[in-house]
Amino acid sequence: MQVSFTVAVAGASGYAGGEVLRLLLNHPDAEIGALTAHASAGQRLGEHHPHLVPLADRVLQATSADVLAGHDVVVLALPHGASGEISAALDAAGSDALVLDCGADHRLESASDWEQFYGGGSHGHPGAWPYGMPELLRAETGDRQRENLRTASRIAVPGCNVSAVTLALQPGVATGVVDASDVVAVLAVGYTGAGKSYRPHLLAGEAIGSLAPYGVAGTHRHVPEIEQNLRVAGAQTVRLSFTPVLAPVSRGILATVTAPLATGASAGGVRAAWEQHYADEPFVHLLPEGTWPTTAMVTGSNAALVQVAVDERAGRVVALCALDNLGKGTAGAAVQSMNLALGLQESTGLSTVGVAP
């Protein structure tokens, strides 16, 4: 017998909230409850997401613990720094809902990293929320993070760029075939990754026909989260140079990640490490040799497509990952983690099929 559950989405007018709703509309067990927003409260959802036709006439409520409490699941798709306050209020109200935070408030284990990269405010509970990347290998225990998610009531959904870099490189870190003390990551990122607020450099007139770097020279907020993941996967020392570049597409990330080939490792050993690591993963796929991932392959899906090669001349491993920043990068990861926490099949309501061209 199917058992349904109710889901409230805070921040429903934003890109991440809208994508969560799109996925939930295709989830056989989910019933969509309260939809909330801040500045958009009182408006119809269709004013912000006209593509969500079944929900277009729903009116956005103001975000508060009172509105969100009483649901089985609460998804927080809020700006960084806002989720901690709401989740604390839900705790104070005695809510036993499964809470998934799509923001950064509960991802970082280090309070000092939060202070440096997010500029103060409440850090919540450092390291207390299980991390919503089921595929992440935990070197300390030898299992994947999905085992921790099966009993979770609070889940921190990863950053989109973080997922792309981590999924690209973690097999090499876990098996020791790469040297994580010199990791270089350059990412092409769709404009939805910059959020929905109106800023001059995000206007079409500025973006179309232009590539624009941002968060350069170690200043991007995802740096400590990537480093944290690579340490979890087994790296003793992590040194990361990370440069994202806004590309004139709506959605998608293509991450190119390189690191030195470890002493004694071979090109054949590198390929074998990636093959073994992702052999049983439902959403992360290693492409055939010579086939390179593109963002068009994954648009609208929960797939992450990976390729790896060895640059013999440079002595470096080159790993690439393409994913949809709103799909596997955010909303898809939230739904995948939700499924695990609720005891459902991990892939329920999710697809590896993209919508290209």
Q: pLDDT tens digit string along 139-161?
A: 889 999 999 999 999 999 999 99
- Which DSSP category does 342 fall into? T
Q: Would the pTM of this model clear 0.75, i.e. be above it?
A: yes
Q: Which residues are catalytic?
A: 160
Report pLDDT digits (tens) over 321-353.
Answer: 999 999 999 999 999 999 999 999 999 999 999
Backbone φ/ψ region at 184: left (φ over 0), alpha (ψ -120 to 50), beta: beta
Structure tokens at 209: 């026909």
Report pLDDT digits (tens) over 234-252.
Answer: 999 999 999 999 998 889 9
Mean pLDDT along residues 59-79: 94
Is residue 265 scored above 90 in pLDDT?
Answer: no
Please state, for a pLDDT cut of 90, what percent of the chain lies above it: 72
Distance of CA 271 to the CA centre of its chain: 25
Spatial CA neighbour of 336 closest among 132, 54, 114, 131: 132
Report pLDDT digits (tens) over 85-144.
Answer: 898 899 888 889 999 999 888 888 877 777 777 776 555 555 579 999 999 999 889 999
Distances (CA, A) of 289 to 230, 244, 269: 25, 26, 14
Distances (CA, A) of 240 to 31, 127, 169, 292: 42, 21, 12, 23
Spatial CA neighbour of 315 closest among 276, 266, 277: 266
pLDDT of residue 227: 95
Task: Find the farthest-apart pair of alpha carbons in the chain and give their distance in angstroms, rounded.
Answer: 62
Find the range with the poorest average confidence among 11-15, 110-114, 188-192, 213-217.
110-114
Mean pLDDT along residues 283-306: 97
Distances (CA, A) of 126 to 256, 290, 315: 30, 42, 37
Q: Average pLDDT over the chain, rounded to whole?
A: 90
Spatial CA neighbour of 9 closest among 27, 19, 328, 156: 19
pLDDT of residue 115: 76
Determine phi and psi for 329, rounding to 5 degrees: -75, -20
Mean pLDDT along residues 308-324: 96
Mean pLDDT along residues 291-319: 96
Please state, for a pLDDT cut of 70, what percent of the chain lies above it: 93
pLDDT of residue 243: 94
pLDDT of residue 184: 96
Long-range contacts of 282-286 (CB under 8 A, 24+ apart): 282/346, 282/347, 282/352, 283/135, 283/328, 283/332, 283/336, 283/347, 283/350, 283/352, 284/135, 284/167, 285/352
d(CA 247, CA 268): 33
Residues in the chain: 357
Is residue 1 scored above 50 in pLDDT?
Answer: no
User: Alpha helices, DSSP H only, in the chain?
Assistant: 15-25, 65-68, 83-92, 111-118, 146-149, 160-175, 204-207, 223-232, 267-277, 332-341
Structure tokens at 160: 């989109």
Residue type, 43: Q
